[in-house]
Chain A
Amino acid sequence: GENVEQHPSTLSVQEGDSAVIKCTYSDSASNYFPWYKQELGKRPQLIIDIRSNVGEKKDQRIAVTLNKTAKHFSLHITETQPEDSAVYFCAATQDQFYFGTGTSLTVIP
């Protein structure tokens, strides 16, 4: 199946700074790349996604970029807030969802 790698595994930023999380994938057939936010003990929640025919997508403070040639995509969070603290997962999918290893983001007030 697909192999998704995610970096960094932990990330601490000061409130108001930006955070960037990067993922790479192996299967060129993957065509949908969602990002999920998971708070402790809760279900993952979709925060943004991008399809393979788009290079960039933005939703308020969150943006995702996709480079299909290099098979990598990134999550950008600007003006971070303490409530952004959580674990973030990327995924690559054609049919099955394969998740990255997760990034624990801490926003320091």
Chain B
Amino acid sequence: GAVVSQHPSWVICKSGTSVKIECRSLDFQATTMFWYRQFPKQSLMLMATSNEGSKATYEQGVEKDKFLINHASLTLSTLTVTSAHPEDSSFYICSARDPFRRSEAFFGQGTRLTVV
């Protein structure tokens, strides 16, 4: 299957700082990527849909000024958690669609964020 790489896989940051998470499609071009948040033993909550060359579409209740998404190229989308607080600690995971296999989505390995 197609490969999606997410970096970093684990990060610890201080409260008030910002953290950037990268999501790359390695062997296909992804016009659309999705960002999810997952709490322990819970489901994947869709945060936003990232569209190459345009603004991201955020789900209801997700603060767009706090979770900045940039999809600057067909292979890279970034999520920046700004002014992080301990309650932002979570598992963040991205997925991307291969336009030639439009239905299926491929996931990155996820990023464990801990804010101290």
> Are A43's CB and B42's CB within 8 A?
no
0/1 interface trace, chain A 21-61, chain B, CB 8 Å (1 if under): 00000000000101010000111111001010000000000
Residues of A within 8 Å of B1, CB to CB, are 46
Of the candidates B103, B109, B110, the one whose C-beta lies within 8 Å of that of A32 is: B103
A interface: dominant SS: strand
B77, CB-defined interface residue at 8 Å? no
CB-CB nearest in chain A for B44? A99
Interface size on B, residues (CB 8 A): 24
A-B CB contact pairs (8 Å), 19 listed: A1-B46, A34-B104, A36-B107, A42-B110, A43-B109, A46-B1, A49-B104, A87-B41, A89-B43, A95-B32, A96-B34, A97-B46, A97-B95, A97-B105, A99-B36, A99-B45, A99-B46, A101-B42, A102-B41
Q: A41-B112, A104-B41 are in contact. List 4 more A-B contacts (CB 8 A).
A: A42-B109, A44-B107, A87-B41, A97-B105
